[in-house]
Amino acid sequence: MFDNENHKAIFHIQNGPTFKGYSFGHNTNEVVSGEVVFTTSLVGYPESMSDPSYKGQIIVFTQPLIGNYGVPSSVEKDEFNLLKFMESTKLQCKAIIVSDYAWEYSHWTAKESLQEWCVRSNVPAVGGVDTREVVKFLREQGSTLGCIVTDSAKQDMTSEELNALSFYNPGLENLVSVVATKSPYYIKSITESKIGATPNVLLVDCGSKENIVRCLVSRGANTTVVPYNYPIQNIAKFYDGIFISNGPGDPKHCTVTIDNLKTILNDKDLQDLPIFGICLGHQLLCLAAGCVTEKMKYGNRAHNIPTLDLITQQCIITSQNHGYVVSTSSLVDNKFGFKEYFVNLNDNSNEGMIHETRPIFSTQFHPEAKGGPQDTSYLFDNYFKNIFNYTKKSNSETLPSDLVPESLPTERVL
């Protein structure tokens, strides 16, 4: 369908090297820029590229051959009315960089090529780049901004000219407000919960991956999803558990969510309420508990990161995608009673926290694993054990009218 194997493209890292390759995605007269990050995952490019946490980022895939199994349907739904293959309704990252683009693809789920997906989503894609060289630079220099030039008339730009361009920096923006649902929606579980009564979970959407919702409803929870800035402290008492999702950007931009969580942590009537957070959700919970987050040199993005469970002393292999991290020292002697739960065995960075007595824990890695190994799905089971042990203090109040399940949409509101 496309014949742009010879369409030249430039990938330039701000104040760093320039790579000349070919464009196999969206071609534009404009220069496209963002934060350059690399992932060492071997599979799962459709899941990564549709993960809202990658908003504003240019993903460099170190797996040299990308595109060989095509792209599955971006609209097909499963039995819960959730997207079957994608982690959100859109291709979320700013652009992609690969070594070798596979012009031919084959897979039973494939509906289109990676090129077709990128072109119709207006996402630039550059092939023919020495991605090993890119990673060597980023590991020394740290994550940095970069740009892509696909305009044929601009292929002679010098690195001085490229450095003089203005680069978009996603770290400066509250991207959670861009990707999160705009108003509440509701997913009814059609699975029998293991304990008879169907629990009701409140999911705080900061840019949730579709599989996080699936991990909840497939275990039997009716799930109400609310935007990141919804005043959850006022409605937490109506639910059997709170869940805080993943999401893009610097966690410090989500001050509303942090403040709301702080109120919940301090509420005497909610001391037994189960809470679970993943990635950005972990960072927000930690910030609410008085911890500190910082930007990592180049982040952890991979599907095989060894992590130690400090309670069982077992090593688990985890799926990760983050550029910020909770400072471990800020978890020591935590005034809310939290302690470190998991630690990264590659770089010793924090991978989770757990409360000493309350049913609250969170992880920096991704137990929902799309893509990635499912070693840590037991954490969703532990969350459900907490939910089943929790007996809500009976309250005679009724649910606010904007959260009555029957009147809510059944998919995210964008």
3-state helix, strand, coil in the chain (%, to 5): 25, 30, 45
**Which of residues 26, 219, 303, 322 is near ligand GLN by CB under 6 A?**
322
Q: Spell out the residues 6+ positions from residue 178 whose beta carbon is closer than 8 angstroms to its own.
A: 55, 248
Smallest distance from the beta carbon of 227 to ligand GLN, in angstroms?
Answer: 16
**116 is a catalytic site residue:** no
Query: CB 284 → ligand GLN: shortest distance, Å?
Result: 9
248 touches ligand GLN by CB under 6 A: yes
Q: Is 366 a catalytic residue?
A: yes
Instruction: Taking the CA atoms of 207, 71, 121 and 132 in sequence, report the sign of the dihedral they define.
Output: positive
Report the residue number, 34 or 249, with the smaller CB distance to ligand GLN. 249
**Tokens 């042990």 — which residue?**
389
CB 364 within 8 A of CB 350: yes
Rg of the chain over Cα atoms, rounded to whole angstroms, equals 22
For ligand GLN, the binding residue among 265, 280, 286, 326 (CB under 6 A) is 280
Measured distance CA(354)–CA(141) in Å, rounded: 33
Contacting residue, 324, 338, 361, 365, with ligand GLN by CB under 6 A: 324
323 makes contact with ligand GLN (CB under 6 A): yes
Asked if 128 is part of the footprint of ligand GLN (rule: CB under 6 A), the reply reads no
Q: Which pair of tokens denotes residue 396? A: 């005679």
Options 93, 254, 279, 286, the catalytic residue: 279
Report the residue number, 12 or 322, with the smaller CB distance to ligand GLN: 322
Cα–Cα distance, 242 to 289 (Å, whole number): 16
CB 408 within 8 A of CB 188: no
Residue 279 annotated to the active site: yes
From the CB of 92, what's the least distance to ligand GLN, in Å? 11
Residue 321 contacts ligand GLN per CB under 6 A: yes
**Residue from 70, 72, 146, 249 binding ligand GLN (CB under 6 A):** 249
Q: Centre a 10 Å sphere on the Cβ of residue 14 and count the other Cβ atoms it contains.
A: 18
Q: Does position 53 bind ligand GLN by CB under 6 A?
A: yes
Helix ranges, 254-296 (H): 255-266, 280-288
Q: 102 or 216: whose CB is closer to ligand GLN?
A: 216
**Which positions are catalytic?**
279, 366, 368
User: Where along the sequence are the contacts to ligand GLN (CB under 6 A)?
Assistant: 53, 246-249, 279-280, 321-324
